Amino acid sequence: MSLLDKLQWRYATKKFDATKKIPADKLEELLADVRLAPSSLGLQHYRIVVVSNPEVRAKLREAAYGQSQITDASHLIVFAAETNIDETYVQKRIDEVVNTRQTSYESVEGYKQMMLGAVSRLSDEQRLIWAQKQAYIALGILTAAASELGIDNCPMEGFSAEQFDEILGLKEKGLTASVIATIGYRADDDPYSAYAKVRKEESELFIHI
Ligand SMILES: Cc1cc2nc3c(=O)[nH]c(=O)nc-3n(C[C@H](O)[C@H](O)[C@H](O)COP(=O)(O)O)c2cc1C
């Protein structure tokens, strides 16, 4: 099956089969895919929380308008944006680049200054929006990669970020829940799996110049 076929197969799963769990090796592969998501300046401005604990998920479901995917999917993924993108955060990334690429601090000084310039130009609110945008890119990779692996998924914004932050203890980690996804296997009787895809016509969507 091509990626196109798999994206046709995927849909925003409304009803998961609560008895089916994603095998550990498949979950590991999916997370490895998501780890490779691109991000602005490579800063990966988020953490990804993988929630499997049923008690925690029961609480989170209440904070997500009772949506059943939260408890019935195999796993819940929370993309939590960093709220403290500052000089220390940039320095940590620089250290990672130097260590990973076995290079010198001098060689990445220009890159560091570019990052610091970008960070200093933004207000706190703008930095958060910047971080949240990056989290959505990771979400996009997750939905595509899960589909490629035959894992059903539903991206979700229908939740209270404030309550998620509270339940997951995100605030004290300098994080805030931005967008979530549920992953697992569709229930046989989820009517949504049979619905035709509704998308803009190509001529409505693409502008070739
Ligand atoms: C950012 C985002 C947030 C969404 N939030 C929810 C949600 O809270 N609950 C839900 O059931 N579906 C949610 N959806 C699913 C969309 O409604 C769905 O992707 C869209 O209608 C297209 O349908 P399809 O994905 O089945 O092709 C969300 C999708 C995205 C991308």
- The three-class DSSP label of residue 64 is coil
112 in a structural domain: no
Please give the helix or strand (H or E) that residue 175 lies within, else none.
Answer: strand 175-184
Q: 134: CA distance to ligand 1 center in Å?
A: 18
115 in a structural domain: no
Rounded Cα distance, 44 and 7, in Å: 25
Residue nearest to atom 27 of ligand 1 (CA): 11
pLDDT tens digits, 163-200 = 999 999 999 999 999 999 999 999 999 999 999 999 99
Q: How far is CA 30 from CA 26, 111, 118, 143, 146, in A?
A: 6, 30, 31, 10, 6
For the chain, how many structural domains are there in total?
Answer: 1
pLDDT tens digits, 104-134 = 999 999 999 999 999 999 999 999 999 999 9
Side chain identity at 118, as an amino acid letter?
A
Rounded Cα distance, 192 and 186, in Å: 10
208 in a structural domain: no
Residue nearest to atom 4 of ligand 1 (CA): 156
pLDDT tens digits, 16-58 = 999 999 999 999 999 999 999 999 999 999 999 999 999 999 9
Q: 155: CA distance to ligand 1 center in Å?
A: 5
111 in a structural domain: no
What integer pLDDT is reported at residue 24 of this predicted model?
A: 98
204 in a structural domain: no
Contact 180, 77 (CB under 8 A): yes
106 in a structural domain: no
Rounded Cα distance, 37 and 47, in Å: 12
Q: 116: CA distance to ligand 1 center in Å?
A: 35
Q: Domain containing 137: what range?
A: 21-84+123-187
**In this structure, what CATH number is given to the domain that contains residue 54?**
3.40.109.10
Average pLDDT over the chain, rounded to an integer: 98
